[in-house]
Every structure is written in C-alpha cells, then in structure tokens.
Amino acid sequence: MHASITGFSLAAEMALAGQPKALRHPGPVDPNRIDNFEGRSRSLDFTLASGVSLLDAVAAPLEASGLKGAGVTFKNVRFKPFRYVLPAHSPDVEHVAYYSATHAPAEEIEIVCANLTYGRKEDAPFLHCHATWRDRTGRMCGGHVLPFEAFVSAPGQASAFGTDQVAMVSKFDPETNFTLFRPAAPADMPAQSKSEPRCILARLKPNVDLIEGIEEICRRLNVSRAVVRSGVGSIVGAEFEDGRIIHEHPTEILVLSGYIAPDHDGQPRADLSIAVIDMKGSIHEGKPVRGRNPVLICFELALEASY
C-alpha cells in the first residue's frame, strides 16, 4: 500500500503560521509531504567483508538476498581508509544547506553506531549512511560516510531490514535541488496480508516534523505498533526533551532507537532517541521534542510494523 500525504506541514503553511524553523527550498514545494510504501518484510544478518568499500560490503549480500530497499545498522566495525563529510551552510542560493569538504582521518576508525538506507541510483546499488565514532582523542563525533571512499578494514557484523517488493530509488528532487532516496513500488504490487510481517519504507520531506511525521505514517496505514529499524536524514537544528537546543540549522541525524505504540486514546505515539551531528562533527544524543524538529532535506525511514 502507498500513501502520499498531502498538505502535511507544508513550508508555506508553516511560514504563514509563524513557525520560525520553516525553511523554503529553491524549488517548487511538492504537495506530497510524506512518501511511503509497505511490503512483506525480510531480515538479514550478514558480515561486512574487509578490504572493500562500504557500498560493496553492503551491496553484495543484499543483492544476493533479493532485497530492493532496506535499512541497515551496524556497530563496532573498523574502517581504513575512512572518508566522510559534515553538514554545512550552503555556499549559494541553490540549496538551503550543503556539506563540507571531505574529511580523511589518517587513523583506523571504529564505528560506534551506523544507520544507512540501501537502494539504487542510476540502476546500480547505492546507500546513504550516517554514523558515530570516537576520534583519536576519544571524542565522540560523527558524519555522513562516503560509501565509495570508506573501506572496511576488518570483518564486522551488520543487520538489514527491508523488503523484496519495495525499492529505495535515488533521484533528483526539484524542491531541494538534491538527489535523494524515495520509496518506489510497482503499480500492480498485491495488497499486504494482515498475517504477514510488514516493512514500511518512507521519506519525510522538508518541514515535516520528525515525530509527527512518523506517527502520521502509522495512522494512515492503521499501524498500532512499530519499531524503527533505521532512520537517516537531517533536521533544522535540534530541540531535545531535556531542554537542550542546537540553533545551527544544518544538522544530520541517525536513529538510536525508536518505538511506536498506542497512547491512551489509541493513537500512534512515537518514542524516539536520536544522535544529532552538528557542523563541527560533535554528537548530541537525546529524545527530540514533538513538533519542534522539522526535517531539513529529507528523513529516510525503515519501520517494522504490526497491526
């Protein structure tokens, strides 16, 4: 089943309502603010082979398994060489935010936690990965890992959750002027049986609130309970439940844990913990405040759903 959610947290509507975090992108505002498809779920635990790029280490087992779109997580995996970029202000008016020059630490890096979206770009495997790690001083830091330029230096374990029915496809997005993942499925894909485990692959678009967007997906698809298996994207600064605020607007995020369950009125309520990466590569972890963390560029999501 597919749902395109129209008129949900549009940038123009938020600006008219005085929402200070709303950012207008250079292109036309897409009326569909959330894209999602659901398909039968498949899980895969696999080994990231050493001596190859992150992309090749992920693509080989997932291609062999038949997964077309998936969220992948891993911890305690070492890389050398390791290349990444950070969120940055845009140097021009063509984007609301951009990314830094490439960082290339000389030492071997051991990832603490990574989330990535797996799919295809120009009919070849591709991925979008955010991760955290410790630098040589022990400081926790993070960034956007470059899939062709970060190489696994020792075998490590990873877990994928996705579907063989729905693909994540990277295409040009006119609104943001970036090439971004979005879920796609054939028009004749059969409806999902209530007895089958379900995978929902989704993308939240700019200015959709992180928490409210996840809950809206569950509401539209009649999902009572779900687990966030992977989440990768960016938000406008960050506001946490404990009162901490990050004011700089280009920040990247990955999900540390996430659950959706009914509240006392039976409505889906999300409980999310995230790691926020700022422009210096510093990490800020916590629970985001509902209604105060709009998506900056995109947020890609893999949900394990139940009725």
The model's confidence at residue 1, banded by pLDDT at 50, 70 and 90, is very low
Q: 191 or 53, which is more confident? A: 53
3-state secondary structure of 291: coil
Residue 291 is predicted with a pLDDT of 95
Residue 9 is predicted with a pLDDT of 35
Residue 79 is predicted with a pLDDT of 98
Residue 192 is predicted with a pLDDT of 66
Amino acid, res. 98: Y
Q: Which of 26, 7, 25 is nearest to 17 (CA)?
A: 7
Q: Which of 84, 58, 69 is nearest to 145 (CA)?
A: 84
Residue 162 is predicted with a pLDDT of 98
> CA–CA separation, 121 vs 36, rounded Å?
18
> CA–CA separation, 31 vs 10, rounded Å?
7
- Position of tokens 């779920």? 41
DSSP for 179-213 reads EEEEEE--TTPPPPPTTS-EEEEEEEPTT-BHHHH
Residue 194 is predicted with a pLDDT of 65
Alpha helices in 54-191 (DSSP H): 54-65
Cα dihedral 94, 98, 100, 101, rounded to 10, equals -40
Tens of pLDDT, residues 65-84: 999 999 999 999 999 999 99
Q: Looking at residues 98-123, what average pLDDT do you find?
A: 97
What does R_g of the chain's alpha carbons equal in angstroms?
A: 18
The model's confidence at residue 197, banded by pLDDT at 50, 70 and 90, is confident
Q: pTM value?
A: 0.92
The model's confidence at residue 255, banded by pLDDT at 50, 70 and 90, is very high
The model's confidence at residue 186, banded by pLDDT at 50, 70 and 90, is confident
3-state secondary structure of 221: coil
Residue 193 is predicted with a pLDDT of 66
